[in-house]
Amino acid sequence: MRNVDFAPLYRSSVGFDRMANLLDTISRSENKEPAYPPYNIELTGEDQYRITMAVAGFDQSELNIVVDQNKLTVAGKKASDNTPREYLHQGIAARNFERRFQLADHVKVKDANVANGLLHIDLQREIPEAMKPRTIEIGANTSGVKINGELSKEPLKAAS
């Protein structure tokens, strides 16, 4: 088990306490996280991601996806089946699960579907226009801001 001291980060930065807490939480729960169900996280395009979970044996109605304040929770609750069975080998897990993912700022869930025993959750990062980089023109006669290469004549406002 690794112990990481985040005190130097707190001393030399402002506003990164949430990131340090996230890293601390991840390092503490690293060995406690269950391995069921298995999942993949892939980059499908610029600012586009997909989480794929193996949910064999679960019906779409038995799966629940909730997003709450940058936390994505995927839960599966099997409907009770009281049919008596005698297994010679039981390799397909049919137990309830709950898997949590911490989403970065501005990452939104776009779509979710089940196909061939796999749950696909598509995510996309949507950065607001106000947070995108802007080019400030320097000139004696003109004053303006370039947004996506086009000059805007709106004057810059001082922060209050």
In tens digits, the chain (160 residues) has pLDDT values of 556 666 665 555 555 566 666 666 666 655 555 678 999 999 999 889 999 999 988 989 999 999 998 899 999 998 887 888 888 998 877 789 999 998 888 899 999 999 999 999 999 998 888 887 888 888 766 555 666 666 665 555 555 4
Helix or strand holding residue 108 (H, E): strand 107-115
Q: What is the pTM of this model?
A: 0.64
Q: How far apart are CA 16 and CA 22, in angstroms?
A: 10
CA 110 to chain centre: 12
Sheet holding 97-102, edge to edge: 63-68, 71-76, 97-102
